[in-house]
């Protein structure tokens, strides 16, 4: 991201940039997502890296502060992730501006206001006149921003060479390392780290003028998980992508993997609703996913959480033909809550014939930010609202015999902070309230997941 910020200033000797896993915005997709705080990232990054480097060797008590931070990291799951209120978070010393004052600034600005927009890359691609080699991983916390950067450069770059020359490479990786084994899956030798050689080739071409074919490479190279091979194209999303709606169905009992939730391309004609209780004292634990520092990232089997009554599970029949899901995903929920504010979460899983429910991607939407991340409004308890959850882009082949699964709940912790359901100002609550949640999927409320289906 800092490379883009430099390029926006147009230094005269800058020829090219290689933004590695770079977001397009510090608020949306970095510190917050769908209005929820990226809790594990926001707390762990300062504790493990930023705060320690700020005090180590600079102050007489610097070593003691670093020791405290190291101990706090060890105690994250048993103690600190659950600490409330966030504004008093002890490991980062709210009264000591030497340690991590920015963390508490983040909490003061949950809205996407001028605090964040002054650093955003969005809207500034026209100021970037050099080409970029953008690379990232499907399980990286910045993947959505990286894809936005590529699209922005290709359509709005400030010169012909910036627009035509920018390239994108996305592997199956987490933030780091870029290896063939990610989470619980070995993607094979094809997924081994190619980035060092790609960068060398890129710099040889742009800086040394060596004609090595870099400029003739496809503008988009992405790894298709499930098929474990690379795909090439010149646009993102891929050309000829179809967006197919998968509707939620149930007999009113989609709770847990043992329930009767179904996913189908046929619209629901029934009037059943699904209900669950969201208790922020007992949130759904994060298992794998985008890099979260302290939580192992990548694809992980979700069966440990699928027995919970506060997780609604909707699953298709086994695939009769393989299906390549490549691109951005949205989940539309018609829902009501007993609370004045709450969260809605969605996960996309690939269900193997043996029952493994492998996490592919996920997203969240905080109710007060359902219409705007700049002007939040609370909800009326028990009123039905339409919510759109942006499940981040992916590239996964659902093989013959596999099933597509959607998990719906109200927490994914500690990936995101717990919504206390009170409707009070953000980060100031020490109290937690229980919310009664209802998901509607009848003819008037067609809750669904829209998948991008690419040609094979």
CATH of residue 261? 2.60.120.260
State whether 389 and 282 are in the same domain.
Answer: yes
State whether 123 and 153 are in the same domain.
Answer: yes
State whether 60 and 160 are in the same domain.
Answer: no
**CB of 426 within 8 A of CB of 378?**
no
**CB of 136 within 8 A of CB of 221?**
no
Across 19-121, where does the E strand assignment appear?
A: 32-33, 36-37
Token duo for residue 333: 């929920």
Alpha helices in 91-233 (DSSP H): 101-108, 114-117, 143-156, 160-165, 195-208
State whether residue 190 is helix, strand or coil: helix
Distance, CA of 222 to CA of 167 (rounded, Å): 11
State whether 284 and 410 are in the same domain.
Answer: yes
Q: What is the pLDDT of residue 316?
A: 99
| In the block, residue with structure tokens 């009123």 | 383
State whether 301 and 253 are in the same domain.
Answer: yes
- Residue 184: CB atoms within 10 A of its CB come to 15
Token duo for residue 179: 């290896």
**Any residues with CB less than 8 A from the CB of 278 and at least 6 apart, and which?**
310, 342, 343, 409, 410, 411, 421, 434, 435, 436, 437
State whether 257 and 199 are in the same domain.
Answer: no
Q: In which domain, by residue range, is 72 found? A: 36-109
What is the residue-wise DSSP string for 246-266?
EEEE-SS--BSTTS--EEESS
The C-alpha angle 455, 391, 144, rounded to 5 degrees, equals 85
Distance, CA of 156 to CA of 23 (rounded, Å): 17
**pLDDT tens digit at each of 456 positions of the chain:** 899 999 999 999 999 999 999 999 999 999 999 999 999 999 999 999 999 899 999 999 999 999 999 999 999 999 999 999 999 999 999 999 999 999 999 999 999 999 999 999 999 999 999 999 999 999 999 999 999 999 999 999 999 999 999 999 999 999 988 899 999 999 999 998 889 999 999 999 999 999 999 999 999 999 999 999 999 999 999 999 999 999 999 999 999 999 999 999 999 888 889 999 999 999 999 999 997 677 789 999 999 999 999 999 999 999 999 999 999 999 999 999 999 999 999 999 999 999 999 999 999 999 999 999 999 999 999 999 999 999 999 999 999 999 999 999 999 999 999 999 999 999 999 999 999 999 999 999 999 999 999 998
Q: What is the pLDDT of residue 299?
A: 98
State whether 219 and 357 are in the same domain.
Answer: no
| In the block, residue with structure tokens 């020359």 | 165
Nearest CA to 429 among 419, 416, 437?
A: 419
The C-alpha angle 70, 71, 75, rounded to 5 degrees, equals 120
Distance, CA of 259 to CA of 312 (rounded, Å): 8
State whether 43 and 25 are in the same domain.
Answer: no
State whether 300 and 385 are in the same domain.
Answer: yes
State whether residue 273 is helix, strand or coil: strand
Domain end marker among 63, 85, 109: 109
Using CB atoms within 10 A of its CB, is residue 105 exposed (0-12), middle (13-18) or buried (19+)?
exposed
DSSP conformational letter for 122: T
> Measured on CA atoms in the order 219, 222, 228, 231, is the torsion positive or negative?
negative
State whether 294 and 311 are in the same domain.
Answer: yes
What's the structural domain count of the chain?
3
Distance, CA of 122 to CA of 386 (rounded, Å): 27
Domain end marker among 54, 77, 109: 109
CATH of residue 18? 3.40.50.1820
State whether 217 and 287 are in the same domain.
Answer: no
What is the residue-wise DSSP string for 392-430?
EEEEEEE-TT-EEEEEEES--BTTSPPP-SS-PSTT---
State whether 23 and 75 are in the same domain.
Answer: no
Q: What are phi and psi of 244, to 5 degrees?
A: -115, 130
Q: Distance between the two ends of the chain, CA-based, in angstroms?
A: 33
Domain end marker among 198, 233, 268: 233
Q: What are phi and psi of 29, to 5 degrees?
A: 90, 5
């Amino acid at each position: 991201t800092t490379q883009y910020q430099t390029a926006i200033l147009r230094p005269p000797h800058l020829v090219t940039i290689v933004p590695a896993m770079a977001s397009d915005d510090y608020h949306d997709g970095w510190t917050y997502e769908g209005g929820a705080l990226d809790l594990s990232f926001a707390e762990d990054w300062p504790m493990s890296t930023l705060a320690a480097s700020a005090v180590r060797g600079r102050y007489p008590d610097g070593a003691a502060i670093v020791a405290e931070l190291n101990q706090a990291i060890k105690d994250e799951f048993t103690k600190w992730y659950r600490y409330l209120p966030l504004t008093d978070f002890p490991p980062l010393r709210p009264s000591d501006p030497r340690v991590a004052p920015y963390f508490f600034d983040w909490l003061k600005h949950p809205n996407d206001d001028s605090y964040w927009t002054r650093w955003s890359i969005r809207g500034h691609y026209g100021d970037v006149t050099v080409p970029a080699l953008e690379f990232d991983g499907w399980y990286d916390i910045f993947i959505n921003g990286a894809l936005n950067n590529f699209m922005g450069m290709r359509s709005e770059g400030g010169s012909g060479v910036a627009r035509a020359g920018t390239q994108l490479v996305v592997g199956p990786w987490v933030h780091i390392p870029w290896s063939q084994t990610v989470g619980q899956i070995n993607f094979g030798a094809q997924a081994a780290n190619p980035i060092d050689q790609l960068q060398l080739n890129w710099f040889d071409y742009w800086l040394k003028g060596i004609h090595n074919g870099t400029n003739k490479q496809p503008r988009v190279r992405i790894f298709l998980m499930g098929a474990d091979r690379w795909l090439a194209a010149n646009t993102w999303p891929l050309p000829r992508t179809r967006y197919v709606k998968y509707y939620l169905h149930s007999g009113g009992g989609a709770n847990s993997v043992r329930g009767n939730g179904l996913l189908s391309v046929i619209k629901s004609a029934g009037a059943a609703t699904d209900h669950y209780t969201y208790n922020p004292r007992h949130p759904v634990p994060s298992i794998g996913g985008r890099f979260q520092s302290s939580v192992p990232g990548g694809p992980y089997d979700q069966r440990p959480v699928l027995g919970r009554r506060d997780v609604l599970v909707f699953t298709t029949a086994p695939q009769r033909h393989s299906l390549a899901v490549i691109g951005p995903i949205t989940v539309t929920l018609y829902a009501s809550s007993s609370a004045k504010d709450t969260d809605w979460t969605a996960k996309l899983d690939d269900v193997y014939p043996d029952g493994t429910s492998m996490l592919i991607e996920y997203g969240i939407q905080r109710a007060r930010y359902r219409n705007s991340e700049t002007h939040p409004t609370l909800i009326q308890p028990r009123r039905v609202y339409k919510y759109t959850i942006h499940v981040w882009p992916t590239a996964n082949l659902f093989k013959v015999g596999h099933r597509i699964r959607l998990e719906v709940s109200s927490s994914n912790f500690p990936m995101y902070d717990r919504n206390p359901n009170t409707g009070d100002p953000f980060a100031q609550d020490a109290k937690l309230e229980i919310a009664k949640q209802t998901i509607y999927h009848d003819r008037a409320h067609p809750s669904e997941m829209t998948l991008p289906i690419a040609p094979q």
